[in-house]
Structures are given as C-alpha cells and as structure tokens.
Amino acid sequence: MLKLCENTSLGEKYYKATVKGMDIYVIPKELSTVYATIAVNFGASDTDFVLDGKEISLPSGTAHYLEHKMFDSPDGTDAFEKFSVLGANVNAYTGADKTCYLFSCADGFEQCLRLLFDVVTKPCFTDESVEKERPIITQEIRMYMDDPYWKMHFGLLGALYHNDPIKNDPAGTEETIANITPKLLYDCHRSFYNPRNMALCVCGNVNAEEVVKIAEECIPDYEEVSLRRIRPYEPAEVCCHKREFSLDVSAPLFAVGIKCTPPENGEELMRAEAENEIIVQAIFGKSGSFYNKYYEEGILGDRFSSGYSNEAGTALVMIYGSCDEPERAYELIKQELDNRKDSFCTKEEFERAKKVCYSSALDTYNSTEDIASAFVSYVFRNGDFLRYTDYLRNADYDSVKARFKADYSSERSAFSVIYAKEDSNV
C-alpha cells in the first residue's frame, strides 16, 4: 500500500510503503540519473550487542569490513562488474549508525535494483576472500592517515567523547581488522541485515509501484533474532579540552567542537536540526560578526566552516578553520559563546540565518543523490526530510534562543589542532 506525502510549496513529494518490514521511500524526480540506497541500521558504533543471549563485542572496523565483503557474489563474480555492464555505479559507505549500499544509473534501473538487493541479502564469505581484503582496507586506512582533516576530526571526537565508539575511525585500525573472520561477518549479517532493520530510498524518474513490486520479489524471508544493542555510558562533559598532532601541512588547522544534547527521534529530531543549524549559522556564519571581525583582522582566513551534526546518539557543533595561532582561535570562539549566552543574536541575524539554511536545504532538491541521501539520514529515526524546510521557516526566535542558552557551553567544548611540522620537504 503506497502512501503519498507532499510538500506543495516546494512542489515535491514522495511515496512510502512497507514490504516485509522494510520501509521503502520513492521520491519522483525528472532527472536522467536514478539514485537508490539500501540503508542497514548497523554502523561503526554498533560494536557491542547481545545476540540470542550471547554478548558479542566486535573489533573496531567490522561493519566496514562487512560492507566491503558484501560485494562478493556466491557464484564468484564481482558485483561491481554486473553494475558496470549496465552503466551503473555501485558503491557503499559505513557511517557511525548505518551502512549504505547505493547505485546511480541512467538506464537499467530495474536490473540494478535487483542486483542491489542481491548485494545486501546474499552474503558469501570464505577464509580466502576475507583474507584478500585485508591489504586493500589497510591501504584505505593509511590513505586517511595522511588526511589532516580526517585526523583532526577524529582528534576532536576523541577529546569530546570518553567512551562513545563514534570517536573511532569506522574502518578500524590495522590491528583491529587483523582479527576479523568469516564467522564474525556471518554473525553480523544474520543479526543486523534483517528487512526490519533496513530501508530503501529511491530518487529519480521511476514508478513507485514498480519499486514495491521488485522489493516484494527480492526481500527474502528472515529468521527473527533476539538482538539488543549495548552503548557505553557517555558523560555529558567532554573527555579533555585539547588533542594535538603534527603533520606535514602548510598552516596550522583547528577544529572546535561543542558537545550538545542528542535529540529524541521524530519531531524533536527535525526541530533540533533546524534550530541548531540556524544557531550555528547566526553565530559562526560567513556574514556573522564573529567571522568577519577576525577575517578583517587577519586571524581567520578563507578556510573556515561550521556545522551541526547528530548521529548514533551523539550531537555536536563543529567549527573548522586555519589560523597561525590556533589557541587564540579557540579562546575567541569560547568568548563568543560566553558573550552571547544571554543575548544570542539579533532578530535580523536570526532571519538571515534562516534564509541561508533554507536555501541550502532547497539546493538538495537539485540532485537525485542529494535527495536520496537526505531522506536516508532520517529513515531509522522517524524524521521526514520533506518537512525540513517547514521546520526552518517556522523556527521561532525565542525557542531557538532558549536552545542556545541551554545547550551551548564553552565548558562543554574541545579543540583539536594539527600543527605544521617544521621540516617539510616538497
């Protein structure tokens, strides 16, 4: 049974259905490329759980390793090749709270969707195939080690979080992936790759009924498992205020994080995202007094950005930039938060911030990939991206001000720096 949801002011809509427990969203869009994602509610942060009464603790990087190995087919062929012959691109990524398998195609959508279901529903792991993947993932891990932003990001999460697995690289480390076996991957697949624990989002010029029909044919029957996830206790306070590294970079880079209260799923999730985005924009946006004052003074440069994110039961604000004296940048950001504690921002700044956030949300509707990705981020949390612009437009000054006062504290901030090594070569 298809349910239609519309947003008339945007001229956008989607259809929703549930097949064998799996939620399916189809967002019609008149573009050449169709984009489809199957999301599995199993990510890098799901490291500890109880399966059929037995406690399991996964080595860091397991969900990501599983993602790589799902592309091996039982008949020994490679899934990439099957998509390629259709001119489609298939890919996957592992986030903190989910693993997503996706493809984009201009033709052959039906076949591609069937193939994608094959990828996620037909595990096939052998000692040899699992072994073969280790050097490839090792190079993936090493590639990110040389990425200063990646390093700085995880440095920041390590400072903000005591125990939460969000602070770990989703790919794990060379040590943790050494212990991953076919049995472990099969256990994870059986536990988490269950239709009730998965969702499908399709965006493009497709027929919703057709999508549902394919899903009905492709989703196999699943055995029910008893599964309980365990998340370690995470205090509201930060773990420490500073992490630092030295890398071969051109100028020091900094990231400041503010640990926020994670929102409840559903309405509050949508409201929290809209309001926090507006807050960050109003205070640290490009037209804001903060950025412009220190840009004019030469303390901050073009590389400056800020944003709010929440996933896997965490929420934080991040401010990135480059600065010759990163400690000073951190002090200035903390001062800004303290100074605005009671005043927040002017009504003009607030209205302007709303427009910026609205325009950025609207821009999502220009690409099937962006639309499907935006929808996917809410599928396991009772949110609805189609309503997001309404939350932005309807955001109320006093309510946003109250949220800022309650949740933005310099005490709950931390700072991660990449210093430039002196003896660089090239």
Partner 1 sequence: MVIKDYNLREGVDLTVLSTEKFKSNLMIVELRCPLRKETATHYSLITNVLSRCCRKYPTLREFNVALEELYAADLDAYVSKSGEVQKVCFKLSCIENSYTYDGADVLAGGMRLLGEMIFNPLLEDGAFSASVMESEKKNLKEEIEALKDDKARLALSRCIKNMCADEAFSVTTAGDTEILQSISASELKTSYDELLKSYPVSIYFMGREAPEKVKEYCDRYLPFAPREKRLFNTEVKKGTGDVKYVTEPTDAVQSRLCMGFRTGRSIKDDDYVALLLACDVLGSPSGKLFMNVREKLGLCYYCSPMLDGVKGLLIVSAGIFAENRKKAEEAILQQIEALKKGDITERELKSAKAVAESAYKEIYDSASSIINWYSARRGLGLDISPEEMAARIKNTTVEDIARVARDIVPDTFYMLEGGAAEC
| 367 touches partner 1 by CB under 8 A | yes
Tell which one of 245, 262, 267, 305 touches partner 1 (CB under 8 A): 245
DSSP 126: -
Only one of the segments 75-83, 214-222, 265-273, 379-387 lies at the binding site for partner 1 (rule: CB under 8 A); that segment is 75-83
Minimum distance of partner 1 from residue 204's CB (angstroms): 10
Q: Which stretch binds partner 1 (CB under 8 A): 272-280, 297-305, 380-388, 406-414?
A: 297-305
Q: What angle do CA 321, 161, 134 make, to 5 degrees?
A: 85
Place of tokens 């903060």: 290
Nearest to partner 1 of 195, 288 (CB atom)? 288
CA atoms within 13 A on the CB side of 48: 8
What value does the CA radius of gyration of the chain take, rounded to a whole number of Å?
Answer: 23
Determine, following the binding rule CB under 8 A, whether residue 124 of this chain makes contact with partner 1. no
How many residues can be counted in the chain? Answer: 426
Q: Does residue 298 touch partner 1 according to CB under 8 A?
A: yes
Least Å from the CB of residue 329 to partner 1: 14
Q: Give the CB-side neighbour count of residue 369, counting CA atoms within 13 A.
A: 10
Does 295 interact with partner 1 (rule: CB under 8 A)? yes
Rounded to an integer, what distance in angstroms lies between the CA atom of residue 175 and that of residue 40? Answer: 26
**Does 292 interact with partner 1 (rule: CB under 8 A)?**
yes
Comparison of 47 and 281: residue with beta carbon closer to partner 1: 281
93 lies in the binding site for partner 1 (CB under 8 A): no
Residue 143 binding partner 1, by CB under 8 A: yes
Query: Half-sphere exposure (CA, 13 Å, Cβ side) for 221?
Result: 1
9-28 residues in contact with partner 1 (CB under 8 A) are 9-10
The structure tokens listed for 24 are 């399916």
Residue 393 touching partner 1 (CB under 8 A):
yes
Task: With contacts defined by CB under 8 A, name the span among 48-56, 76-84, 327-335, 378-386 that binds partner 1.
Answer: 76-84
- Other CB atoms within 10 Å distance of the CB of residue 348: 9
Q: Counting contacts by CB under 8 A, is residue 88 touching partner 1?
A: yes
Closer residue to partner 1 (CB): 261 or 366: 366
Please say which residue, 232 or 301, places its beta carbon nearer to partner 1. 301
Does 325 engage in binding with partner 1 (CB under 8 A)? no
- Whole-number Å distance between alpha carbons of 155 and 417: 8
Report the residue from 221, 296, 342, 398 that binds partner 1 according to the rule CB under 8 A: 296
Task: State yes or no: residue 237 binds partner 1 (CB under 8 A).
Answer: no
Residue 250 touches partner 1, criterion: CB under 8 A:
yes
Residue 105 sits in the site that holds partner 1 (CB under 8 A):
yes
Report in angstroms the alpha-carbon separations of 28 from 25, 35, 126, 281, 362: 10, 11, 40, 31, 16
> Does 175 interact with partner 1 (rule: CB under 8 A)?
no
Name the amino acid, one letter, at 408.
Y
Asked whether position 360 contacts partner 1 by CB under 8 A, the answer is yes
Interface with partner 1, residue 137, by CB under 8 A: yes
Least separation in angstroms between residue 283's CB and partner 1 is 14
Task: Please enumerate in sequence order all residues whose Cβ is within 8 A of that of 150, keeping only pairs 6 or more positions apart, or say none.
Answer: 144, 169
Work out whether 387 is an interface residue with partner 1 (CB under 8 A).
no
CA distance 123 to 121: 6
Window of 49-57, 214-222, 240-248, 254-262 that interacts with partner 1 by CB under 8 A: 240-248
Taking CB atoms within 8 Å and a gap of at least 24, the contacts of 282-287 are 282/344, 282/345, 282/349, 282/350, 282/352, 282/353, 283/336, 283/337, 283/340, 283/345, 284/319, 284/333, 284/336, 285/353, 285/356, 287/352, 287/356
